[in-house]
Structure 1
């Protein structure tokens, strides 16, 4: 991603040259990423990711009571989630009624990887956004192309965390298609639409997980 960003728009618009060099760039990126896929996020980095998760879980449109007590309760739930606790059901009725801490979002990879078909819903979500250019500019808080693309790729770890909570709430460790469908629905509800994601702290969270922190995040979540 950073290599493409440094090449600039002129190179990326040269389709003939891009077709020639892109395969080798992708192969090198795969090798580099494999070397970086090592767990090791700090407690602060994990809290940053949970803060990003909060933005995708919150459903302010369901908050009928806007009094001081309700706002204090929501702020308390947000803090609990940032530090690994809480229950997402307090943010919206579509979320599982399950303690997030018990879901163990950060874990070692499963011995038996799930079937690739399980993630088909997420792949369709990303493909449609890419094909329709619904990931930057007006579609994503007036963000430039690469910033929007990075945010779109971050929906994978966000969706994985959602799916983990969904599976754990049903007493399963293994993910199922229904878990990913719930995760993608939650992500799609907010991505480019949530007022919270347009604030600077969301841009900061997205930028924080670029470079080496992104593969470290994937590794800490347990690559699926």
Structure 2
């Protein structure tokens, strides 16, 4: 077996373990996520866990990386036609909400993991990484909007980024609590209009 093949094998096992960790977390919560439970769910020998991850902390990071990539790809998928700023924001917030609606169990599992990482001294670095990664991903998209449309924001871009994140997470969290589709959709529209109003104008 070549080194390249071994590398692929490790990556494939890592992905299996991430899939399994998400499934265990979704079904049983953070307390159910043990190395034995994860490897059993993945159909791998227990020793495979430490072959791929030094501990549960890097596994949890891999889970959050997976979820963040998915969330950003969904929320900021390139539009088929050109959208104005309010429509861009509406599209992104709606996509984020749709992802929560489509798989509420996983959404709740991720919320639990992030909350747990903020409280656990051994995982506080993970919590900080998750927040910075989220901010960086959204900031990149807002910077693209700003450049493409010649937007002049009335407030610092960093404030817009944080407001978008707080709004998206807040709408999804409220929906998870009440499952009120109509109210969530209405909130998306109002929020998009309010955030778009922070743009003084554009060259578009």
- TM-score (ref. length: structure 2): 0.30
Identify the structure with bigger relative contact order (alpha carbons < 8 Å, sequence gap 6+).
1
Over alpha carbons, which structure has the higher Rg? 2
Q: Which is richer in helix?
A: 2
Provide the TM-score with structure 1 as the length reference. Answer: 0.28
